[in-house]
Amino acid sequence: MSEDRSTLAKLLAAGDVVVLSGAGMSTESGIPDYRGPSGSLTRHTPMTYQTFVGDPAARRRYWARSHVGWRTMTGATPNDGHRAVAHLQRRGLVAGIVTQNVDGLHQAGGARAVVELHGSLHQVVCLDCGDSTSREELDRRLSQANPHFGVRAATINPDGDVELGDDEVNGFQVVACRACDTGTLKPDVVFFGETVPVDRVRECYALVERARLLLVLGSSLTVMSGRRFVLHANRLGIPVAIINQGETRGDAYATLTLDAPLGTILPELIRLTDAQAAGSSDPTHRL
């Protein structure tokens, strides 16, 4: 294990690293992943694009649950893993960040130019006219339309909603687009069953092609949406390193894998990288 960490520190020190992060990146911030030991898929089925678009009752249920969950999402703060990635980017070692997460915590932790593969919960889009607004504005409108909706929930799902019973959802009022008056609003995220925009995928491929190392953080790589970049790097002979708690579907293509909490191991890797740069065996750097 210590040899793998030293090897990874050397790869990081060489620079041109592209990070691909998943839900495990944010578990230490209180947002669960989908497929970990306590992942949300053990207790709920995520909303699909087809259901959201085609079923008004399901759409109302989603917005009621998401309206409650937004309070928890906005209260989540970056963890040491997010801050470590931002630190490596500021040092010029990380050349690109692609995240499968929709929580915005990479940016809150100081990272810049983050490619949000699956979009962002912080934006809302109208499916009819294409108008884009902030989630804060929608939250105010939903609160005004539902003044007596005082439901609170402690457990949030990775996609920003919570579990609510039918009796809690009944009567919740969904609001329409303000720009066109009647349009259907949707969080600007890629739902299950929806396709990632082609230009966004191309941007991610281009980042991988210029990388010296693809570093996967906190992703099981179960779905092709993220795994395709690991396969692409492997085809190009670009080393892949994976840090995740548990096995992933990309392990067979990895140069090395580490099973460890990101908030612990990433700061440690920074210290090892700094020590190698300084020629010291007693690193004292702190984030």
Q: Which residue has the higher pLDDT, 178 or 284?
A: 178
Per-residue model confidence (pLDDT) at position 216? 98
204 among annotated binding-site residues: no
Provide the residue range defining the domain that includes 119: 2-278
Per-residue model confidence (pLDDT) at position 149? 81
Mean predicted lDDT score pLDDT of the chain: 89
Instruction: Examine the residue annotation and report whether 118 is marked as an active-site residue of this protein.
Output: yes
Per-residue model confidence (pLDDT) at position 285? 43
Angle at 38 between CA 135 and CA 83, to 5 degrees: 55
Residue 183 lies in a domain: yes
Q: What are the strands of the beta sheet with 132-134, ordered from one edge?
A: 132-134, 119-126, 185-189
Per-residue model confidence (pLDDT) at position 167? 74
Q: Which residue has the higher pLDDT, 30 or 124?
A: 124
134 among annotated binding-site residues: no
Q: Which of 256, 208, 255, 199 is nearest to 228 (CA)?
A: 208
Q: Which residue has the higher pLDDT, 280 or 150?
A: 150
Q: Is the pLDDT of residue 42 over 50?
A: no
Q: Is the pLDDT of residue 83 over 90?
A: yes
Q: Is the pLDDT of residue 152 over 70?
A: no
Residue 144 lies in a domain: yes
Report pLDDT digits (tens) over 105-121. 999 999 999 999 999 99
170 among annotated binding-site residues: no
Per-residue pLDDT band for 286 (boundaries 50, 70, 90) equals very low
Amino acid identity, position 204: C
- Rounded to two decimals, the pTM is 0.89
Residue 29 lies in a domain: yes
Please give the Cα distance from 118 to 225 (Å, whole number).
9
Per-residue model confidence (pLDDT) at position 233? 98
DSSP per residue, 139-169: HHHHHHH-TT-----S-B-TTS-B---HHHH
28 among annotated binding-site residues: yes
**Does residue 65 sit in helix, strand or coil?**
helix
Per-residue model confidence (pLDDT) at position 171? 85
Residue 286 lies in a domain: no
Residue 285 lies in a domain: no
Q: Report the b/e string of 179-202 with b at 16+ CB within 10 A.
A: eeeebbbbbbbbbbebebeeebbe
Give the mean pLDDT of 239-254. Answer: 97
Number of separate domains in the chain: 1
Q: Is the pLDDT of residue 263 over 60?
A: yes
60 among annotated binding-site residues: no
Per-residue pLDDT band for 41 (boundaries 50, 70, 90) equals very low
Per-residue model confidence (pLDDT) at position 161? 65
Residue 284 lies in a domain: no
Q: Is the pLDDT of residue 132 over 50?
A: yes
262 among annotated binding-site residues: yes
- pLDDT winner (highest mean) among 45-59, 143-157, 214-228: 214-228
Catalytic residue among 67, 82, 106, 118: 118
Look-up: residue for tokens 């210029």?
Answer: 210
23 among annotated binding-site residues: yes
102 among annotated binding-site residues: yes
Per-residue model confidence (pLDDT) at position 1? 63
Q: Is the pLDDT of residue 56 over 90?
A: yes
Per-residue pLDDT band for 153 (boundaries 50, 70, 90) equals low
Per-residue pLDDT band for 284 (boundaries 50, 70, 90) equals very low
Report pLDDT digits (tens) over 170-217. 889 999 999 999 999 999 999 999 999 999 999 999 999 999 999 999
In what helix (H) or strand (E) does residue 52 lie, and over which residues does it extend?
Answer: helix 49-54
Please give the Cα distance from 62 to 46 (Å, whole number).
10
- The CATH number covering residue 232 comes to 3.40.50.1220
Give the mean pLDDT of 245-272. Answer: 96
The values of phi and psi at residue 248, to 5°, are: -130, 165
In what helix (H) or strand (E) does residue 231 lie, and over which residues does it extend?
Answer: helix 224-235
Residue 59 lies in a domain: yes
Residue 112 lies in a domain: yes
